Amino acid sequence: MADIIAGVATSHVPAIGAAIDLGKTQEPYWQPLFKGYEASKKWIAAVEPDVVILVYNDHASAFSLEIIPTFALGCAAEFQPTDEGWGPRPVPAVKGDPELAWHIAQSVILDEFDLTIVNNMTVDHGLTVPLSLMFGQPKEWPCRVIPLAVNVVQYPPPTGNRCYNFGKAIRKAVESFDKDLKVVIFGTGGMSHQLQGPRAGLINREFDTRFLDNLTRDPQALARMQHVEYVREAGSEGIEMVMWLIMRGALDDDAKEIYRFYHVPASNTAVGHIILENPR
């Protein structure tokens, strides 16, 4: 049986990818941020997942305004990094897991989560920056990755509650797959940030801390939070945090927090990172 053993949440700021790609991780601005991921890299190297289900959002890269899927699952064998306007990131191609991905698609659709199946797409910094933060700069990514893109650009994104319950359906799907696989699920984006308008630069450390606390204390309360509260309290782009609730929903109710890191700023953004493990 395949098993989701842990969840990882992290911000996916593009400037972090640029800092890695340009060899700036030891510069004074970036050094504290990358130091915060050292323990996480060791943790995931020890866990050795077979597959990562990576929940992220596309930033007008693979999807423009022509097609806006609320949930899109990457079922291909390979995904190339997107050229986001300054050339693709120099990172390895992402190897998918078509068998498990198709199984998940079939299972969650029959569970009434009508996602979009994608056989051809590129993946942007939303997906590759979390991989770089957790795995560094290997020649090949050490595990297969199933991309799950969530619309958080066009209002309305799915509700937090929908995301939380979708996570539960994903877990059920994974657990009904009849191969022994260790799966880790990533929820990415956030934390508080606003990239547009006269209120750009908004950061809300109290909100972010409460959000991190409630991932273990009271995830149902997070699932009830309305979009308008995310935007008011965590900025227009802070609404991305609904994606963390897919990760949370896919774990046990009594999942344990084993690591947390919080840092301001990376460019315009509060970087939040947490690792939750299911009890064994």
Partner 1 sequence: MTLQQQFDDIPGTTLFDAQRSRQGYHLNMFCMSLMKAENRAAFKANEAGFLEQFPLTPAQRDAILKRDWNGMIALGGNIYFLAKLFSTDGLSFQHVAALMTGSTQPEYAQMMLNGGRCADGNRSKSEWQQRG
DSSP-derived 3-state class of residue 269: strand
DSSP 3-70: EEEEEEEE---HHHHHHHHTT-TTSTTTHHHHHTTHHHHHHHHHH--SEEEEEE---SSS--SS---S
Of 5, 21, 48, 247, residue with least CA distance to 141: 48
| Rg of the chain (C-alpha set) | 17
Assess 110 for contact with partner 1 (CB under 8 A). Answer: no
CB 247 within 8 A of CB 273: no
The 197-236 site mask, x for binding partner 1 (CB under 8 A), equals xxxxxxxxxxx--------------------x--xxx-xx
Residue 9 Cβ vs partner 1, minimum distance, rounded to whole Å: 20
Residue 192 phi, psi (nearest 5): -60, 130
- Catalytic residue flag (residue 12): no
Question: Closer to partner 1 at the Cβ: 55 or 270?
Answer: 270
Assess 139 for contact with partner 1 (CB under 8 A). Answer: no
List the structure tokens of 39.
């323990």
Residue 235 Cβ vs partner 1, minimum distance, rounded to whole Å: 8
- Among 31, 154, 176, 220, interactor with partner 1 by CB under 8 A: 154
Residue 61 Cβ vs partner 1, minimum distance, rounded to whole Å: 8
Assess 64 for contact with partner 1 (CB under 8 A). Answer: yes
Residue 57 Cβ vs partner 1, minimum distance, rounded to whole Å: 9
Q: For CA atoms 261, 262, 264, 266, give the dihedral sign.
A: positive
Of residues 237 through 276, those in contact with partner 1 by CB under 8 A are 237, 264-265, 267-268, 270
Out of 12, 103, 125, 273, pick the active-site residue: 125
Q: For CA atoms 226, 229, 231, 234, give the dihedral sign.
A: negative
Q: Which residues are catalytic?
A: 125, 193
- Tell me which residues touch partner 1 (CB under 8 A): 14-15, 59-61, 64-66, 83-86, 153-156, 192, 194-207, 228, 231-233, 235-237, 264-265, 267-268, 270
